[in-house]
A and B are shown apart, each in its own frame.
Chain A
Amino acid sequence: MLAGGQSLVPMLHMRLVRPVALVDIHRAADLDFIEFTPEGESVRIGAAVRHADLLRHPVLGARLPVLREAVAHVAHPAIRNRGTAVGSVCHADPAAEMPAVLALLDGEVEVLGAAGLYTVPADAFFLTYFTTVLPPEDVAVALRLPLPAPGTGQAFMEVARREGDFALVGAAACLRLDADGRVAEARLAFCGVGDTPVRAREVEAQLAGTVPSAAAWREAGAAAAAHLEPESDAHASAAYRREVAAYLAARVLEAAHRRAEGAFGADGRGGAAG
C-alpha cells in the first residue's frame, strides 16, 4: 500500500521489500480530509493527508499543539510534502514522531477490512519494530486524535544528530491542571527508546494530583527514564538515550505546564494553548 512513499519507496529501492503489487492511494480524494468530529472532541486525519498539510492547516496547530510540534520534526520539507501521517503510523518506526503522538493521545487507527470499518486503539496497534497488528489485506484509512480538554498544555521535543534525522530520543507530554493549579492529568510518551512508542504510565499516575514544580518534572523525567530499556546502536548508547530521555521528559513536562498555565491566563477562557 503506497501513500506518500517516503519510507516504502526507499525500501523498494534497497530491495528490503519485494511486493507482488503496489496500490497507490494518493489520489483517493475521500481519504484526503482533516476534519473535527461534530462534538469537537477529536480530529480525524485521512490516509492521503501529507505531513505538510498538517502544518499548513489554518487551525489544527492551535487545536492540537503537540501534533504541530511533532510534525515539524518529521524529516525535511520535501519529505513532509509527500509523506503521510497515516503512513508513518503504519510504517511503525519506533523512532518516528507520529506513532509517539498517537500513543500519547490514546488515539485510534481507523481500518477498512473485508468485514467493514473497525478501529484499533494506539496501545494495541504497535507490536514491535516496523510491525503493527494490521493484517496485510486491511487498509488504515484515518487516524483519530483526541483534542486536549480545556486547561491542557502539550509539548513535543526531540534530540537528533542532525535536523530532520530520526530522533535519537523524542518526548511528548500533555498536562491538564485543575482549578487549584494541581496536576489533574499527566501524559508522557517517548520515541526512539524501544521497539514501539512508549508511554510512561507509572509516572503519569504518580504525577496526578501533585503540585507542579521544576523539581517534580526532573524527578518524573528521571523516574520515567529509569523504566526505559533503550538499545545501543551506531548512533547512541543505551545509557546516553536514557539520559536524554530523562532530560527531554522534564523539558516537555515543564513546557506543557507553562502552556497549561497560559491556558488559564488573561482571557480566562481556559482553552488549549500552543
Chain B
Amino acid sequence: MNPAVHPDETLYEVEVVVNGERHVRRVEARRTLADFLREELGLTGTHIGCEHGVCGACTVLLDGRAVRSCLVYAVQADGADVVTVEGVGGQLPRGRRVTLEDGREVVLNPLQEAFQEHHALQCGYCTPGFLISALELLRENPDPTEDEVRRALSGNLCRCTGYQNIVDAVLDAARRLRAAGGGPA
C-alpha cells in the first residue's frame, strides 16, 4: 500500500467531559467525535446519518455550541465539554416525572415534554440532533417566531418528514420555559 495514504494508526490521548463526566481514551487521529462518543464511550444516543454534515442527526453541544460530531475529530475535542442527547435532560429546568416501559422513572425537561406531547418524533432517528439544535436556539432566543424555529432547525433532516410537529414542540417548549420564569439553564 502507498505509505502516503496508509492510515496513521498512532493513538492520541483525548480527555473530554461528556454530560458532566470526565473520560480519557486513546484514539486514532481520524476517529470522529461521533464514533468516539458511540464506540469508545458507549453513548449511542448520538446518531450517525450521513457522515458528511448534511443530516444533523449527530449534532452535539461542543463547549456550549451545536456542532456536527461527524465533522469534528475526537482529537479536536481534547479538553472540551460535550453534551449529548443523554445529557440533554439536565440542560433545562426539570419538568414532569414519567415512568418508562421498563419501570424506570425519569424526569423530562420542558423540551422533552413538548416533543412527547406534540408527537414530534416518529422513528426517532433524527430526534437527538433536533433536541440539541432546539436547545441551542432556546438558549439564544427564548421567544422565537415559527420562522426562526424553522431556520434554526433547517440543518436537521427528518426523513419521516414530521417537521410540523417538531416546530410546534419547540414553540411550545419556548412558551413553557418562559412561563416557568427561567430560560434554559
**A interacts with B:** yes
Contact status A78-B155, CB under 8 Å: yes
- The interface stretch among B50-58, B114-122, B166-174 is B50-58
Say how far B154's CB is from chain A's closest CB, in angstroms.
4
Contact status A78-B154, CB under 8 Å: no
Please give me the residue from chain A that is nearest to B64 by CB atom: A81
Contact status B68-A52, CB under 8 Å: no
Instruction: State A5–B75 Cα separation when bound (angstroms).
Output: 13
**B23 located at the interface, meaning its Cβ lies under 8 Å from any Cβ of chain A in the complex:** no
Task: Using A78-B67, A79-B68, A163-B151 as known contacts, say yes or no to A6 and B4 having CB atoms under 8 A apart.
Answer: no
Say how far B153's CB is from chain A's closest CB, in angstroms.
9
Say how far B7's CB is from chain A's closest CB, in angstroms.
10
**B150 located at the interface, meaning its Cβ lies under 8 Å from any Cβ of chain A in the complex:** yes
Contact status A5-B154, CB under 8 Å: no
Chain B window 138-179, contacts with chain A (Cβ cutoff 8 Å), 1 for yes, 0 for no: 000000000000111011100000000000000000000000
Please give me the residue from chain B that is nearest to A10 by CB atom: B52
Chain A window 132-172, contacts with chain B (Cβ cutoff 8 Å), 1 for yes, 0 for no: 00000000000000000000000000000011100000000
A79 CB contacts on chain B under 8 angstroms: 53, 68, 155
Residue of A26, A52, A78, A81 with most partner-chain B CB within 10 A: A78
Please give me the residue from chain B that is nearest to A4 by CB atom: B71
B81 CB contacts on chain A under 8 angstroms: none
B152 CB contacts on chain A under 8 angstroms: 77
Contact status A78-B151, CB under 8 Å: no
Chain A window 1-16, contacts with chain B (Cβ cutoff 8 Å), 1 for yes, 0 for no: 0000110011001100
Contact status B155-A10, CB under 8 Å: no
Instruction: State A5–B33 Cα separation when bound (angstroms).
Output: 13
Pick from A22, A24, A81, A163: contact of B66, CB below 8 A.
A81
Instruction: State A76–B156 Cα separation when bound (angstroms).
Output: 9
Pick from A18, A20, A78, A82: contact of B56, CB below 8 A.
A78
**A75 located at the interface, meaning its Cβ lies under 8 Å from any Cβ of chain B in the complex:** yes
Contact status B71-A76, CB under 8 Å: no
Say how far B58's CB is from chain A's closest CB, in angstroms.
10
Contact status B76-A26, CB under 8 Å: yes
Q: Which of A45-98 contact B (CB under 8 A)?
A: 52, 75-79, 81-82
Contact status A5-B71, CB under 8 Å: yes
Q: A6-B68, A10-B52 are in contact. List 11 more A-B contacts (CB 8 A).
A: A5-B72, A9-B53, A9-B70, A10-B53, A10-B71, A18-B5, A52-B65, A77-B66, A77-B152, A82-B68, A82-B71
